[in-house]
Structure 1
Amino acid sequence: MTPVGTDIADRVLGGWLGRIAGNMLGKPVEQGDHWTRDRIDRYLRQAAALPLTDYLPGPADDGAGGEFELRPEWRDCVRGRIHGSCRDDDVDYAILGLDLLETHGFSFSTEQVGDLWLARLPYLQTFTAERAAYRNLAKGLKPPVTATYENPYQEWIGALIRADVYGWTSPGLPWRAASLARRDAVLSHTGNGVYGAMWAAALISAAFTAPSVRDALDTALDVIPASSRLARAVRRVIALHETRMSWEDTLTTMSEETAGMGWIHTVPNAAVLTAGLLYGDGDFTRTITLTVRGGLDTDSNGATAGSVAGVLCGAEAIPPQWKDPLEDTVRSAVFGFDGVRISELASRTVALVDV
């Protein structure tokens, strides 16, 4: 777990590095209806890469297709071929959140989140609920209507992936982190989509001070309605873990209990993420690899798991095979940020922390 004396700067840098590394790990297999948990493990077994302790191996046939066809971006995010991070919305939104707080401070409004999207984020780099909200903003609609008009993705995972910066800038203040994340999330989401963002922000905030992953998860549950589907799913994973059920059987059980929600819905992804955190038990490598092997929205889940694990252990303790290939460089679609240093993003984040 986190060494005594690890400072805020190292923990925040750990969060950024963890988010980016976890995202890169999951990116080649981000297609949950094809890349099931079973298929991911069969791919890894075929490549003699289990237990997984590094980025995914490239395909033996150089991506010729078939059952094990990876996403088109795989060439830039498999082991041995990574030179800086790939562009991805899971990282773009963390950057946008940082820019938002630098520009407007912690009193930002939901309308200002939307204005920043229009000014900084290309439309074609948005997806599902974010694209629907962006389109509604361009039509002149205002929040919270931007989240509900012609948007069938209101409870999908998009708001959750935007929440990290609110946790990083609110260490040990989970309720504040959740409040900030909610203000951002209601631009595009409702219900469990908003709760997912609040939960993730609180989880990351709690990771700065919690003595264990389990304690951080318990704290994060406090900020969302106990009766919500999200809270029930997280509590269910915790209960299964407490019975000493295996990671595989826990995910099989949760898959059955969340069947029909789809692979990008917040609830089943939060279950995969919770299982990765609990069974990873504070170990960075085990946490992100179990989370990605869990399937569904692999790059988003890997990113959030990496953020939590990175905050828990600090940047210094992240094994070099994860951080060295990133070369302290981020590719981003956010205007003005492409090629920025990860260390600079972390320093700018720390500058916002009131400690």
Structure 2
Amino acid sequence: MTTRPLTTRRTEPDLADRIHGGWLGRIAGNMLGKPVEQGEVWTRERIDRYLRRAAALPLTDYLPEPADAEESAVLRPEWRACVRGRIHGSCRDDDVDYAILGLHLLETHGFGFTTEQVGDLWLLRMPYLQTFTAERAAYRNLANGMKPPLTATYENPYQEWIGALIRADVYGWTCPGEPSRAAGLARRDAVLSHTGNGVYGAMFAAALVSAAFTAATVRDALETALGVIPASSRLARTVRRVATLHETRLPWEETLATVSQETAGLGWIHTVPNAAVLTAGLLYGDGDFTRTIALTVRGGLDTDSNGATAGSVAGVVTGAAAIPEQWTEPLEDTVRSAVFGFDGVRISALAERTLRLARSAP
């Protein structure tokens, strides 16, 4: 399958539209995947059965309401505010909270921020009970007086999980076309809570979003992002495996089934298998916003996180104006957030603040 060429972006209005698209895409993708965010329950097969039962395949809008009480019982409890026809602004979610927190970090400390300042901002702005897995372990370690990098390693079994990857988009949005710089910022953030493939996932995501502003194709953006992490890492090898299977014209379902077998045992929140789902969604989505986020969420595992990152990349590729309105209108330009001082903020305002940082970057 060939990938469609992306338009090279250079002018300021175009940059503004693409940064706005990144925010909208992240939020829409997160909302799409949120009801089925439980990878051991919501497998690819079960998600498609749910959609088939509702006559919602191909998936071109937010998830339909569950057909009965049995189905609703296994959805995330937030589903009532995340399914089509019920959405009035975005739900609160850590996948969006960390993008907001990263924006605030750069506004407060600039691009020379330290890992210690990331931790300080968490303690100041983020409620402990709205953190999870590696972030909660690091938060606890910070509260107990530990400093990075010990915050990432002490009593933290989640060091290679997906948490650092979901914090990385803002570094790509503020460093458009500078993937190495974006990756460096993401690494400085990630080492507060992660090691190994957990850190590489953040670097990869930041570089991928940054590269999407200027790469000729989605595949080119992926190749650029692979260039910022060790080629021998399991993350890099898995992403390349997905790209190779895509090149052979293997169907999307078979590609994911193959890679799922090869990453079995890592768990549904680990960075590596989720990066495989993300990569497949981007490649088989072929530059189309709706197809990209739909395939990514249908891929299962950490559906809201993967949908958010895929939506961010696809939103940068298309720009806000080209994202179909069924994804953007229900968001009502409003974000719910657990970050102190940001609940109810406008998505357009977040995009404008991000643009100012991108313009002012040294």
TM-score higher than 0.5 here?
yes
- Which of residues 275, 280, 292 is equivalent to 1:270? 275
- Which of residues 1, 4, 9 is equivalent to 2:16? 9
- For the pair 1:256 / 2:240, whether they are aligned, the reply is no
Does the residue aligned with 1:184 lie in a helix, a strand or coil? helix
Partner of 1:332: 337
Between the two proteins, what is the percent identity of the paired residues? 82
Q: Which runs of 4 or more aligned residues in structure 1 lie more than 3 Å from their structure 2 counterparts after TM superposition?
A: 1-6
Partner of 1:105: 110
- Which of residues 216, 233, 236 is equivalent to 1:231? 236
- For the pair 1:219 / 2:227, whether they are aligned, the reply is no
Distance 1:2 1:262 in 2: 34
Does the residue aligned with 2:340 lie in a helix, a strand or coil? coil
Distance 1:211 1:319 in 2: 22
Matched to 2:253, the amino acid is E
Written as runs of structure 1 = structure 2, the 5 A alignment for 1:1-355 is 2-3=6-7, 7-61=14-68, 64-65=69-70, 69-354=74-359
| Residues 223, 96 of structure 1: alpha-carbon distance in 2 compared, 3 angstrom cutoff | same
Any unmatched runs of 5+ in structure 2?
none
Q: Give the superposition deviation at 1:70.
A: 1.0
Q: Give the superposition deviation at 1:346.
A: 0.2
Distance 1:281 1:139 in 2: 47
Distance 2:8 2:328 in 1: 22
Matched to 1:87, the amino acid is R
Question: How many residues are treated as equivalent by the alignment?
Answer: 353
| Residues 249, 52 of structure 1: alpha-carbon distance in 2 compared, 3 angstrom cutoff | same
Distance 1:4 1:234 in 2: 24
Q: Give the superposition deviation at 1:4.
A: 6.0
After superposition, the CA RMSD in angstroms is: 1.1
Aligned partners of 1:13 and 1:315 also within 8 Å: yes
Q: Give the superposition deviation at 1:172.
A: 0.3
Matched to 2:26, the amino acid is R
Distance 1:141 1:46 in 2: 51
Does the residue aligned with 1:7 lie in a helix, a strand or coil? helix
Distance 1:340 1:72 in 2: 23
Distance 2:8 2:221 in 1: 17
Matched to 2:330, the amino acid is P
Matched to 1:60, the amino acid is A
Distance 1:65 1:195 in 2: 39
Aligned partners of 2:8 and 2:216 also within 8 Å: no
Distance 1:51 1:303 in 2: 19
Distance 1:68 1:124 in 2: 23
Aligned partners of 1:43 and 1:68 also within 8 Å: no
Distance 1:353 1:266 in 2: 27
Q: Give the superposition deviation at 1:67.
A: 8.6
Q: Give the superposition deviation at 1:134.
A: 0.1
Distance 2:245 2:288 in 1: 20
Does the residue aligned with 1:331 lie in a helix, a strand or coil? coil
Aligned partners of 1:146 and 1:188 also within 8 Å: yes
Aligned partners of 1:2 and 1:314 also within 8 Å: no
Does the residue aligned with 1:106 lie in a helix, a strand or coil? coil
Matched to 1:42, the amino acid is R
Q: TM-score, normalised by structure 2?
A: 0.96
Any unmatched runs of 5+ in structure 1?
none
Matched to 2:235, the amino acid is L
Distance 1:171 1:3 in 2: 14
Matched to 2:328, the amino acid is K
